[in-house]
Amino acid sequence: MAAVFYKPNYCIEDYLLWEGDWELWDGIPVAMSPAPNFFHQAIAGNLFFQLKTVLHKEPFPGKCVAIYESDWHVDATTVVRPDFMVVCEKPTGQWVERRPEFAAAILSPSTRQKDLVAKRDLYAANGVPFYLILDPEDRSALLLSLDPDGAYRELPPEDPFEIHPGCVLQLEVAPLFV
């Protein structure tokens, strides 16, 4: 008789009780990486500054908000923590529960594959319109835009893009990596 394979399945209620840094992907706990290194954090600070500056100048200040290292409760069994999100509808609870308009990841050796494959697929499947991937190794930016067919396509990262009616972002890539 073959051994029965047991695959635990958790939900947000379980996740909220855990200690340490975790994400929850389709009911499966995923341990978060160690704290980011100095260069990662410097890039994060530069991106946050750019996003806050642009969003504050839009015709509707405060309509879209940049959020750093916050949980997005995708559904009852999936919680992720993008490096950055821009939400254009203020959350009603403690966490983001609606899809963000924009998500960003800063690659690190321990998260590279998760960010390039798993999270890219997850964000596309859940309708995140824009996904920015910053690579500190080669100081590059990959900006992805979700097509109506649900697939991401590349956009020039320094071209303006509208994340919400009247809310246009334009990134300056080189200053992110100083």
Q: Is residue 16 part of a domain?
A: no
> Is 105 inside any structural domain?
yes
Residues 40-98 have pLDDT tens digits of: 899 999 999 999 988 887 566 668 889 998 999 999 999 999 999 999 988 888 889 99
Rounded to two decimals, the pTM is 0.85
The Cα 133–Cα 112 span in angstroms is 10
**Structural domain includes residue 14:** no
The domain containing residue 92 runs over which residues?
36-177
Q: Decide if 169 is inside a domain.
A: yes
In a domain, 85, yes or no: yes
Strand runs labelled E in 22-175: 22-25, 28-31, 65-68, 72-75, 78-80, 84-87, 102-106, 130-135, 140-146, 152-155, 161-164, 167-169
Domains contained in the chain, number: 1
